[in-house]
A and B are shown apart, each in its own frame.
Chain A
Amino acid sequence: ETGVTQTPRHLVMGMTNKKSLKCEQHLGHNAMYWYKQSAKKPLELMFVYNFKEQTENNSVPSRFSPECPNSSHLFLHLHTLQPEDSALYLCASSQENEQYFGPGTRLTVT
């Protein structure tokens, strides 16, 4: 596989569920990111990891919990989400300037 992959591609969950989103990059990059993309809103940066260390938390609610076990894998653990958290969640990786995005997980919270 090449590039940045994300699973699942679609997820529907209730407000009391716990689920995790997974991202994997096969590019040898050192930095990984989580973004949220809602309709008619700019891409919002959520978290940044450099060499497995979290370097940015963009005031994200604690119901979103990231995990970066190594430079190639990034998780986003979800619990007690709200309907307004429904969005496309994009993972990206980078080595220098250009960020490479995964296909995203379309999340619907019911």
Chain B
Amino acid sequence: GQNIDQPTEMTATEGAIVQINCTYQTSGFNGLFWYQQHAGEAPTFLSYNVLDGLEEKGRFSSFLSRSKGYSYLLLKELQMKDSASYLCAVAGGNTDKLIFGTGTRLQVFP
């Protein structure tokens, strides 16, 4: 079967670093995506990993290990506006089809 697992909720303090993990089991793999979704808004693209390693983009970084079926999203210097749901999604055998996890709701406190 196809499965994406990520924690349901996380909390962190403003200015801190938080790591959101995602594990996956899919029948094919053409890349892993992270999206951010604020309440009542559309998901917005954060990162795409298709090769092993770390991709850094400003305060956000995403890591992938294909052999372990594992990824994480690292958020540094947290800001209040980072409070949102973070969705992990895997492109299976065809990048047209994304399989999403349930999302991790991150709350940042002052």
Contact = CB atoms under 8 A, between A and B. Distances in A.
B100 A43 contact: yes
B60 interface: no
Contact of A90 (B43, B48, B95, B103): B43
A103 B97 contact: no
Contacts, number: 52
Interface in B1-60: 4, 31, 33, 35, 41-45, 48, 50
Given A40-B102, A43-B87, A97 B96 contact: no
A55 B13 CA distance: 44
Given A42-B4, A99-B45, A48 B96 contact: yes
Contacts of A104: 42
A100 B45 contact: yes
Interface string A43-60: 111001010000110000
Interface size class of A (residues with CB under 8 A): 20 to 34
A55 B48 contact: no
B46 to A, nearest CB: 10
B43 to A, nearest CB: 5
A50 B95 CA distance: 12
Interface of B: 4, 31, 33, 35, 41-45, 48, 50, 87, 89, 91, 95-103
Interface of A: 4, 31, 33, 40-45, 48, 50, 55-56, 90, 94, 96-104
